[in-house]
Amino acid sequence: MADNLNLPSEERDEGFSPLHPVFAAAPQSVSFRKLRKRLVRQTQEAIRAYGMAPEGRRPRWLVCLSGGKDSYTLLSVLLDLQWQGALPVDLLACNLDQGQPGFDKEILPAYFAKIGVPYRIITQDTYSVVTEKVPASNTFCSLCSRMRRGILYRVAREEGCEAVVLGHHRDDALETFMLNFLFGGRMAAMPPKLVNDAGDLFVLRPLIGCAEDDIRKFAELMHYPIIPCNLCGSQDGLQRMQIKSLLDDWEKRNPGRRQIMARAMSHVRPSHMVDGELFDFTGLELGQPGTKDDGLS
């Protein structure tokens, strides 16, 4: 279909651009349409800003779905963009069945078939490995994510995909930044685009500019068949939960705080940090152009 995302919003809503079948049962309210458009716009902006979709060729992306709200939303938004002709990429939905107790194996295949999306389901019991090697008092997430990522890389190669696409959003990036800052002794978040260690695959996060609260509302209105994670969610007092609570409190006290922090991550001034690997302090001499006074007395 033709790319008409630049048409006035009222034209898009009045039948000039039918929606993808994934939205067949979606609400018809104005508030839902605004929410969908906001998520689509923010995702498209991220794809453009970080060069996720190459020009001149049509790559294939492995879109990873866990069965949670974030990954369902990721797939819907990418399908929306693809349907409008604004994302010249072939999408392959993928779920990794990790052998978690209570995981309903029928939900995702039925959902993919219903919306007409090509998919692949991989079954590999990483649950037993993680619970055996990691004490119950420790965090499962690190080992679990490493094993999961390795499997998804393999599948992406088998399927001829050049990118593994994940559903991490703005708040995930903020929480990771704060975790690294407060507990890891470094300043790092989740990059929107990176190349894996082997150098043969991209890892993309198109929802990096989307707020979790918007995604949560969107998922509720779309009535996704959510599959809860019984591994990560079973551990209380995780550092990430502490950080999430801290950010929630800041947001309540000062609405918009998360967005300001997110903007700060894309406006880094190496000359005003203390990392000699990022800025050549030793080579800085008088008579050179200044690096902008920080304005502090």
Question: pLDDT, tens digit, for every residue of 156-188?
Answer: 999 999 999 999 999 999 999 999 999 899 999
Count of other CB atoms within 10 angstroms of residue 245: 10
Question: pLDDT, tens digit, for every residue of 194-244?
Answer: 999 999 999 999 999 999 999 999 999 999 999 987 555 444 447 888 899
Could you give the domains of the chain? 27-265 (3.40.50.620)
Number of helical (H) and strand (E) elements in the chain, helices listed first: 10, 6
Higher pLDDT, 133 or 276: 276
CA separation, residue 206 to residues 41, 171, 176, 249 (Å) = 11, 13, 17, 27
**Residue among 138, 164, 219 nearest 52 (CA):** 164
What secondary structure letter does DSSP report for 2?
Answer: -
| Sheet with 163-165: strands ordered across | 119-123, 90-97, 60-64, 163-165, 202-204, 193-195
**CB-count burial class (<10 Å; 0-12, 13-18, 19+) for 25:** exposed
pTM of the complete model: 0.85
Q: Given a cut of 70, is residue 88 above it in pLDDT?
A: yes
Could you tell me how far CA 188 lies from the centroid of its own chain?
16
Q: Which helix (H) or strand (E) holds 191?
A: none
